[in-house]
A = this chain, B = another copy of it.
Amino acid sequence: MATIRDVARVSGYSIATVSRVLNGYDNVSPETRKKVLKVVKELNYKRSDSMKGSSYKVVGVLVPDLFGYYYGIIAESIKEVLIKSHIEMFLSTFRNSIEKEKEALEEFFGRKVDGIIVCTTYDDEDSLEKFVTTGIPVVALDRDQSELKIDIITIENYNSTLKIAQYLYNMGHKRVVHVEGPLRIYSARERKKAFQDFAQKNKDFEVIFIPGGFDAQSGYTSIKQYLKKNGKDFTAAFFVNDWVALGGLKALREAGYSCPEDVSVVGFDDAPFAKYLHPSLTTICQPMYEMGLNAGKLIVEKLEGKKESRVKRRIILPTEIVVRDSVKKI
């Protein structure tokens, strides 16, 4: 395995200069940086051991937060894979703050983790580039694309949502509310776009878009405000996830509307609570556990230097509609 000495020797720079490049310091000319990184790539140089006091490799996992079920399930499943290969997980959260996201990635880099898995991060290409160019493997979950050589795991956001639109359409719903997620997030944008496109194609299908968030309170507020202003001028509602649907259902009830008698409701995720609700929630099953397992496997393959890990991979996991009691044919 190439050492920092090898990189210095082959590139013709001093170890100190190579070190400055690898640590991402500014006091290096762009030209020098480029030459050094070229050699780093050629020699497949990897920075040596991660954390003191253990010979285990460490993978940094960055998720937005652990308040709901979504990232907790993903983290647990990643860990399940890593532990089998005696790799440890260093889990961090950034609470949807771009600044904290950057800090967390800096921290991973500073700690010399052996690989990273990032979930639902954004505006981070600059931060991630450092890992890629220094040979630290990166797997991104719940992300559209990247200019970088990283692996991406996502689900069929667009197609799943088309399926929902088609399902509601087939059940006779022609005027449907969509409570959106935060549109800076790729999955929320994809879901909105699918509904837009479906409505464009089917002229007798109309969608009312309402801004929302990813939590129950935002679903509650969105529906409550909409009803106050416009009354119930729709027969079905599609929520960006099951938390938001949970809040929306409460707002509908408080305004005197029953589900599915007055309004049909569809969520997204198949949250652990979805099947226990009253009525039980029709939703898209998002394979959170499989997402984590796949992310874990990809990073392990990269760390073990498997052949197939040298290409930029993109895995799109399938989803399916789970039909329960919250949608009525009209």
Cβ-based interface call for A24 (8 A): no
Cβ-based interface call for A228 (8 A): no
- CB of B272 within 8 A of CB of A216, answer yes
List the B side residues contacting A71 at CB < 8 Å.
66, 72
Q: Known: A273-B216, A278-B278. Contact between A111 and B53, CB under 8 A? A: yes
Cβ-based interface call for A75 (8 A): yes
CB distance from A37 to the nearest CB of B (A): 20
Interface size counted on chain A using CB atoms at 8 A: 44
Cβ-based interface call for A230 (8 A): no
Q: Which of A87-95, A174-182, A297-305 contacts B (4 or more CB under 8 A)?
A: A87-95
- CB of B112 within 8 A of CB of A52, answer yes
Closest residue of B by beta carbon distance from A247: B276
Cβ-based interface call for A73 (8 A): yes
Cβ-based interface call for A131 (8 A): no
Interface string of A41-61 (1 = CB under 8 A from B): 000000001111110000000
Cβ-based interface call for A144 (8 A): no
The contact of A76 among B54, B67, B272, B276, by CB within 8 Å, is B67
CB distance from A65 to the nearest CB of B (A): 6
CB distance from A217 to the nearest CB of B (A): 9
The contact of A111 among B54, B76, B243, by CB within 8 Å, is B54
- CB of B69 within 8 A of CB of A110, answer no
Cβ-based interface call for A152 (8 A): no
Cβ-based interface call for A246 (8 A): yes
List the B side residues contacting A92 at CB < 8 Å.
89
List the B side residues contacting A192 at CB < 8 Å.
none
Cβ-based interface call for A311 (8 A): no
CA distance A247 to B274 in the complex (A): 11
CA distance A111 to B69 in the complex (A): 29
Cβ-based interface call for A250 (8 A): yes
- CB of B278 within 8 A of CB of A249, answer yes
List the B side residues contacting A123 at CB < 8 Å.
none
The contact of A72 among B72, B111, B246, by CB within 8 Å, is B72
CA distance A52 to B88 in the complex (A): 15
Q: Known: A107-B88, A246-B276, A276-B246. Contact between A79 and B93, CB under 8 A? A: yes
- CB of B276 within 8 A of CB of A216, answer yes
Known: A69-B69, A250-B275. 20 other contacts (CB 8 A): A49-B52, A50-B53, A51-B51, A51-B53, A54-B110, A65-B72, A66-B72, A66-B73, A67-B69, A68-B72, A88-B107, A215-B272, A216-B276, A243-B272, A246-B273, A246-B276, A250-B278, A250-B280, A253-B278, A277-B277
